[in-house]
Every structure is written in C-alpha cells, then in structure tokens.
Amino acid sequence: MSDDASARPGQLILLPAVITLAVTLLRLVGELQGWSPALFSKEPGGGGSLVGIAWLVPVFGAWFGWKLARSGERPGSLGRPLGLTVLALALLPASGFAAARLGIDQRSLATLGIFAVVSVAGLGVALLAWPALGRVLLAYGLAARIPVVLVMLAAILGNWGTHYDAPPPGVPEMSGLWKWAVIGLLPQMTIWLWFTSVIGGLFGVVAAALAGRRAA
C-alpha cells in the first residue's frame, strides 16, 4: 500500500478493523468456553482482560499517525494537536470530578449520561486537534465498536454470562433492549469512541513527530 493510498481512512483502517474484529470474536469464544479469566475475564467492563480490543488503540493510533505523516498529512506544528488532544483527554475525568463534587453517584445512570455527553464533546475536540487523524480514528472506532454493540445485543438477549452482558455495579435491574441501550449502545458509541480517538490521537501525534524526525 502506498503512502498516498494509506492516507484514505477506509483503506488505512481496513487491516486494523479486521484484526480488531478477530480479537473481539476470540474474546467472545474464550469467555463462552470458560478459558483463562486472566485472558478472557467475564467481569463487568472486561476486568482488564489481556485479550481485548482496548489494547489495540495505542498500537493502531501510532500506526495511523505514522502513515499520515509519511503521506504528507502531518500538521505544520504538532504542539496544537498535542495540546487539544490532552484537553480532550482531560474532559472526562474533569466531568467525573465535577459530578462527585455535586454529590452525584459515580455509578448512577446520571453520571453515565454526563460521561456520554462529555465524550461527544471530547470527540469534537479530538477531531479539531488533527482532522486527518481524527477522521481515521473515528472511522476505526466505529469499525471496532459496532461489532461489539451487536455482540452485546445478542449476549444480553441470550443471557450468555459474558462481560458483554454483565452490567456495571450500581446499574439497576433491567432487561432486553433497554439494558442493551444503557450498558451497550450508549457507552460504546460515546465513551469508547472518545477513548479510541483520544488515546489513539496521543500515540498518533507522538508517532508523527518521530516520522518527521526520521524524514529530517
């Protein structure tokens, strides 16, 4: 793949999206088969399982940044993208701190809603930081998270006993599509897209800086 071709989001994310889907399916099979909890944790949120797609974000974020920089999509200065990406990163913990100061339960649905809204704002900041990288990371995030959303729907409706259908602590009892919307669709399409864009963006900016030094 040439550097010019790799600058197109659809082509750039193709292989990472396939790898990410394979990891998602491997994770699902491992949990259903009861494989090692250290690798395939069934705890709500994944329990830091070593097999998971969150660990791929820094790797692919760096790769995207490197490829974009090498194809001529590197910003003139990386200071602004870095600063805005750090700002986007700070928004979510800052909102959590503010919610705590206001006495809002950190495990409540209200806090989840706040995090979702702030995540969307963070996505906007991440897109402004370095638009070329932001678009690629958003496309990759959607390619990575939409399959998870679908797996969670099947797991919740089928009561599979995996982390995909395990509600976080503090979430009230609910069932069916409402449960999927609250613990699946909403966080996957907001908080986890924010995570992908911001963490991937940080590593992408660093990789672009290294690519620029190498070119120089």
Q: In which domain, by residue range, is 12 found?
A: 3-215
Task: Count the Cβ atoms, other than its own, within 10 Å of residue 212.
Answer: 14
The contacts of residue 117 (CB under 8 Å, 6+ apart) are 190
* Domains contained in the chain, number: 1
Confidence of residue 129 (pLDDT cuts 50, 70, 90): very high
Measured CA distances, 109 to 35, 65, 94, 191 (Å): 32, 35, 18, 14
- Name the token pair of 197: 């864009």
Q: How far apart are CA 132 and CA 45, in angstroms?
A: 30
Q: 97-111 pLDDT, tens per residue? A: 888 888 887 777 888
pLDDT more than 90, % of the chain: 72
Q: Is 13 helix (H, G, I), strand (E, B) or coil?
A: coil
Interval 189-194 mean pLDDT: 97
Judge if pTM exceeds 0.85.
yes
Q: pLDDT category, 214, cuts 50, 70, 90?
A: low
Torsional class of 133: left (φ above 0), alpha (ψ -120 to 50), beta (otherwise):
alpha
pLDDT at 2 over 50: no
Model confidence pLDDT, tens digit, residues 70-84: 888 888 788 999 999
Question: Encoding tokens for residue 143?
Answer: 């390619």
- Residues 143-171 have pLDDT tens digits of 999 999 999 999 999 999 999 999 887 77
Average pLDDT, the chain: 90
